[in-house]
Structure 1
Amino acid sequence: MTSLADHEEERLRILEETGALAGPDPVLDAICREARDHFSVPIALITLVDRQKLRVKAAQGLSVSELPRDTAFCTYTILSDDVFVIPDMLADERFRSNPLVLGQPHLRFYAGAPLAYLRDIRLGSLCILETRPRRFSPGDKAELAEMADRVVTAIATQELKALGTLFASRH
């Protein structure tokens, strides 16, 4: 597992250069909805982790556009290429006092797949959340990781479209 500082400046630069932080994307909304429905959870989010905040790029079941980075579970997700799972947040000392666990929406379960854009560059996560403890199988992890790969493909496609538009406007 890497530390938060490893590749951080490069990761933040890529977030800006790709335009990933800009506006909503219907493709990402659809993947988010698919994740919520597939895993039968009340909340699914696609998040991007910038310097100070967790930016919510797509959401199902939770109306929030950003969260402080220091309370965001996704900060842990971007430390590794592996799906990060917290089966019961109240049983985990890192998260039991988190305001989202103690207060609304009283979260208990988290699973997040990193959005691996380049080697060692994870932009954020596709995550699912539940208000009760839950198990998450290796097969579930693989399915969530595959959905996260589709999110990265959508972000990269948007970047290519933006570059194509920029190139066309210059010629």
Structure 2
Amino acid sequence: MSMNGPESAAEKASSNMMRLGLVAVAMSGVIAFYVLTGRVELNDPVEVTARIAQPATWTANAPLTLDVAVTLANNTDEAMPLSLPSQCDIFRWFVADEDHNLVQSQRNDEPCLDVPMKGNLDAKTSISGEFTLTLDPARVKPGDYILFLRYWGYELREPVTID
């Protein structure tokens, strides 16, 4: 005699939920094993990060500065070639409003050597640079902006709030 009542359906559903839970735990364990043993990397192969600080508050009478520390990381197992047509292109920036309208860009009169740059970034290493951006208080007022950065040819967009 087969039981097709509510108790039988509840037992089947409970059994199926238990199996599904065990499968999820097993899958999580396998994923954790591969990540923790380094067989799967969660980082991007090449990663650009930036720390941005505003050392002083905005005033209408003085230029505003932003301190920017940029890091380029090679997370691969092989050296990564770096090449730029000019040393002037190592770090480039511009500021846009939230609608992506240009507010201010880097001036081209900053000193640099206009010579080609070539090199390698070794595997599992990074390079960093620190830069001070001078913003015009007539263009950049308190509010929210997007800082577009390019470091060694790799781009990054960072939200910035001017106080």
TM-score over 0.5 (shorter chain): no
Q: Where is the strand percentage greater, Structure 1 or Structure 2? A: 2
Instruction: Say which one has the larger Rg.
Output: 2
Q: Where is the helix percentage greater, Structure 1 or Structure 2? A: 1
- Scaled by the length of structure 1, the TM-score of the pair is 0.23
